[in-house]
Structures are given as C-alpha cells and as structure tokens.
Amino acid sequence: MNQNSGISKIVYIVVFVLAVAIDQITKNIAQTMLDPGENVNVIGDVFQFAYTENYGAAFGMMQNKQTWFYIITGLVILFIIYFIVRMPMNSKYVPVGIVVSVILAGAVGNLIDRVAHKYVVDFIYFRPIDFPVFNVADIYVTLGMIIFVILVIFVYKDRDFDFLDPRKKNDSTSRG
C-alpha cells in the first residue's frame, strides 16, 4: 500500500462520517424543534421546514414496506463498499470515491432512521413546486447519483471500471 492509497481511504471515511453526522444532526434538530405538520417559513412561502415521518420511500411510495427497505439498502451499501474496496486508490478515482462515499452516507443516514424509528425523518420542503418533503440524506443520494452519472459519462471510460470485475486482480497502485 502506498502513501497515496492510505490518504484516499481516510478521505472517503472522513467524508462518509461527516456526511452521516450532518444528516443525523439536522434530523435531530427537526425532531426537537418542529411539531408534526408544522411548517416554518425559511424563505417566504418558497422554502420551508416541515417535519414529517416517512414510512415509505421517495415520494411516499411503498408505505410500511420496511423489510424491502432493509434489503435494498443493505444491497446498495454492500455494493458501494465493494466499489470502494476494489477501486484503485490514486488521484484519478478521488472524485468518484468522494461521490460514492456521499451516496453511502445518504443510504446509511436513512437506514439509521428506519432502524431507530421505523420511519425516516423528512423536513425540507419547497412549496412552489409542491415537491415532497425530504432530508439531507436524500440530497446526498440524489445529487450524488447525478454527479456519479456525469462522471461515468464524461470523465471515466468503460475500462476505468474494470476493477469491479471480480475475475480481475485488483492492482490499486498501477492504474492511473
């Protein structure tokens, strides 16, 4: 393991831990400062805090299907961990490494809620477009996936993801 490899892994862990902490802190603040159904204007009638308990997935789909959420989230978490472990640890992969660390933080942040409360705490609401109430972890997953797709399409080539093939030896020091 070269020095660059250790630094990259530490960066991904720090990004993940900080992102989960921010998500959980904001949800805790929402739970303690807002009452269910209460809307607090932050920017006029445009941006509001509105505490809700989401027993489903995005946009309220699949209400009370907790077992499914545990399975799907577990699979996503396992794949992201596999991705990071197999990913070459050099500067070329830092952007995608950070992005998947943030996506992982979003998945774990909402999983923590499901395990602790049996629902996900949502509290961010944009009234003009009547977008469903969401939280910081949802932002991580949504923006992270958008950035990931952009990176895959415009930055990386197909062969840059050969490391995901379990039949190939993972040599994280020789790729660049």
pLDDT of amino acid 171: 57
pLDDT for the residue 170: 65
In a domain, 175, yes or no: no
> Looking at the domain assignment, is residue 87 inside a domain?
yes
Domain that holds residue 89: 3-163
The whole-number pLDDT of residue 174 equals 44
Cα–Cα distance, 49 to 124 (Å, whole number): 5
Structural domains counted in the chain: 1
Please list the residues that pair with 52 across neighbouring strands: 122
Is residue 98 a part of any domain in this protein?
A: yes
pTM of the model: 0.87
- Per the annotation, the verdict on 45 as an active-site residue is no
Among residues 122, 158, 162, 165, the one annotated as catalytic is 122
Query: Two tokens at 115?
Result: 């395990």
**Does 138 participate in catalysis according to the annotation?**
yes
Is residue 173 in some structural domain?
Answer: no
Do residues 103 and 84 lie in contact, with contact meaning Cβ atoms separated by under 8 Å?
A: no
For residue 19, the model assigns a pLDDT of 98
Strand locations in 3-129, DSSP E?
Answer: 39-43, 47-54, 120-126
The residue ranges of the chain whose pLDDT is under 70 are 1-7, 58-64, 170-176
Q: What pLDDT does 63 receive?
A: 67
Active-site residue (options: 23, 35, 138, 171):
138
In this structure, is residue 172 part of a structural domain? no
Q: Cβ contacts of residue 14 below 8 Å, gap of 6+?
A: none
Q: What pLDDT sits at residue 14?
A: 96
Taking a C-beta distance cutoff of 8 angstroms, is the pair 5, 87 a contact? no
Residue 170 lies in a domain: no
Identify whether 92 is part of a domain.
Answer: yes
The pLDDT of residue 142: 95
User: 117 Cβ partners below 8 Å, 6+ apart?
Assistant: 53
Task: Say what the pLDDT of residue 175 is.
Answer: 44
In a domain, 113, yes or no: yes
- Amino acid in the structure at residue 71: I
